[in-house]
Chains A and B, each alone.
Chain A
């Protein structure tokens, strides 16, 4: 027989196992036909190899599924995350904030309006609203709270009503806790938003005691006692959510025969986002089935932009669970390190934010000890409202951070990149004209912006950018790129104030006295050069003098006339523009911000701290220049255009 110590046992593949068995048989004389697929011995070897392969695969899978890092099946990942006290996110309903105008009337004569004035009219929870998605399909919304109507500006109105996308559903179970079995109730619906679940526990089917109280979902057992009317949730092996209750020590237990009613919202998740985007004062797109509702107005932001439905999410995927579960455990529901903040916000606020960036006050410029800064890039818009920031500071972080540390949510700083691209293309390789080539390149640039920029800690690399443009069409021979950077700030109009505008990239300054690299959008400034007694306010701009001083000038035709010789400084090394006592009187029509533009020294641009680099679609300039193709490269005297 062969030396069995040489028989390898590390093979997992069927063919390799069979080869090993054949090698083993080569060392004996009893059988010789193992090498021939038709032989009976080959069939026996097939069976042996198959069985070995099967067992090896099974053992491998069992081992894989036992660890969070290697588990493949969702149910395994969810189960392992359970050990880390992590509950995966369910599907989340998109939210839409609206003002609901009720039937108008005269408060002196109309009984309905009088009820509103007296505070007796309510928009009940469970009210159904309808909108349409981008494809024109009807989408349902529902209220989960009761709102009181009020008389505001001559209207009967319910303000700031939060609508949840989906249908509210109801399930009832009779609890059976006989034999000491814990009562668990499955919600047989994969589209449930678990955050909207409310439970009512009635004493029995015939005794309605308890119907007035809604039991709340608990995520923190530290605050519970034997009377806490809470329930817990977990995801079962089949992906369905289960509701269960306390044991009478941690959380109130339910009794045998209790009637458990579960209310929840069945939602479309992310598909419910963006509804209401086309709402206008003349054409309302959200309707309500309640006949006392006169009009539903979708809210707008300070700039008049419609705030369509947002925050809808599909269930948390396996990779996200794998990422957040250990971090959540590491944070222990406390915000101490920057990673803790990130994990907590990732769990609590990821439905509304694309990205977070956190840094300690000691790292701030200037340092602010005792603070931690959180910069959030929201999914909708470029900044959070004041109320949203306060909610994060107090509700999510305030209860979990160190008492001596104050969290402060700050807006991300957007640094706009304005590329000026010249494309040289071969006319013979495309049917497009120059405008077509330009248009296609612009589309690719926007795509580059979405793929490579728009997040914290992302940099602009000119070579990647150029290669994207080269790839925009087979006809593109080459391209050149020039870059400028822009930053917006909101000046206090009519009030002198200092401003620091950080570009955080080295600026172009080859020699002292170099031509200006700073420019600005138009703003109104007092013309100190005027000989008039009352100095007029005129259109002005900013630039630098090439020696690090920022000036304000006005235009007389094409000539610059300096109005203020020194309004601040520009540091070409750090990219910091400092304005002292800057007092703009007005901005360009419709603008709320003043734009400063500089030329960077390098074409690779770096985003630092809470800076987000973006290509402003209005700042893209593309020029396509056709090249002649008939250049005779082997003829030295050939004319360039052949």
Chain B
């Protein structure tokens, strides 16, 4: 099985401490890309300085009713976002599950990384806080 060899090295956005080196923790390879996808999905309009256009718009439709049309729209936006801003990822499949009991939307992205013959997936859950 092919394994990514540190093609991606990113900071951990939580700025956790690496227990061994006492340095800031790093994310590597698919973990770095999963974090990147998560960040992209959660980006709101105007959140990125001077680039208001970089936004998935997911949070804009959170207050819409989760009907099939909203789900299709959401998938389209996320797919578009990944295509433009996360070019390390090949065509991704997006599943959106509406967990009514928990007032939660669960977005799962199944993707492959370029030059890596393996399927990865990451899940982002959007849940009401109160």
**A residues apposed to B, CB below 8 Å:** 14-15, 30-33, 36-41, 43-44, 46, 49-50
Q: Smallest distance from the beta carbon of B54 to chain A beta carbons, Å?
A: 6
16 CB < 8 A contacts A-B? A15-B50, A33-B32, A33-B36, A37-B51, A37-B85, A38-B39, A38-B43, A39-B10, A40-B10, A40-B11, A40-B13, A41-B10, A41-B11, A43-B39, A44-B11, A50-B49
Question: B28-40, CB under 8 A of A: which get 1 and which 0?
Answer: 0000100111111
Shortest distance from the beta carbon of A84 to any chain B beta carbon, whole Å = 39
Which partner residue on chain A sits nearest B48 by CB separation? A46
Q: How far is the CB of B20 from chain A (nearest CB, A)?
A: 16
In the complex, residue of chain A having the shortest beta-carbon distance to the beta carbon of B87: A36
Contact A33 B8 (CB under 8 A): yes
The residue of chain A having its C-beta at the shortest distance from the C-beta of B38 within the complex is A38
Known: A31-B11, A33-B8. A40 touches B27 (CB 8 A): yes
B49 touches A36 (CB 8 A): no
Residue among B10, B27, B86, B87 having the largest count of chain A Cβ atoms under 10 Å: B10
CB atoms of B9 and A38 under 8 A apart: no
**Nearest residue, chain B, Cβ from A32:** B9
Residue of A nearest to B36 (CB): A38
Of A15, A30, A43, A44, which contacts B9 at CB under 8 A?
A30
- Is there a chain A Cβ closer than 8 Å to B83's Cβ? no
Q: A39 to nearest B CB, angstroms?
A: 5
Q: Is B18 an interface residue (CB 8 A)?
A: no
Closest to B86 in A: A38
Indicate if B118 sits at the interface (CB-CB under 8 A).
no
In the assembled complex, the Cα of A33 lies from the Cα of B40 at a distance in Å of: 14
When the two chains form their complex, are residues A32 and B8 in contact, meaning their CB atoms are under 8 A apart? yes
User: Complex formed: what's the CA distance from A56 to B48 in Å?
Assistant: 19
Residue in A14, A36, A50 whose CB lies within 8 Å of B88 = A36
Q: Which 3 A-B pairs have the closest CB atoms?
A: A38-B36, A38-B40, A40-B13
Which A residues lie within 8 Å of B49 (CB)? 14, 46, 49-50
Contact partners of B9 in chain A: CB under 8 A:
30-33
Name B1-60 residues within 8 Å CB distance of A.
Answer: 6-13, 27, 32, 35-40, 43, 48-51, 54
Residues of A within 8 A of B48 (CB): 37, 46
The complex places the Cα of A588 from the Cα of B94 at a distance, in Å, of: 95
Return the chain B residue nearest A31 by Cβ. Answer: B9
Known: A32-B7, A33-B8. A39 touches B50 (CB 8 A): no
Residue among A15, A38, A40, A43 having the largest count of chain B Cβ atoms under 10 Å: A38
**Which of A31, A39, A44 is in CB contact (< 8 Å) with B36?**
A39
How many angstroms between the C-alpha atoms of A37 and B10 in the bound complex? 12
Q: Which residues of A contact B6 (CB under 8 A)?
A: 32
A contact residues around B40 at 8 Å (CB): 37-38
A14-B49, A49-B49 known; A39 vs B54 contact (CB < 8 Å): no
B39 — which chain A residues lie within 8 A by C-beta? 38-40, 43
Q: Which residue of chain B has the shortest Cβ distance to A50 in the bound complex?
A: B49
Task: Name the contact of A38 in the complex, choosing from B7, B12, B51, B85 (C-beta under 8 A).
Answer: B85
Q: Which residues of A contact B7 (CB under 8 A)?
A: 32
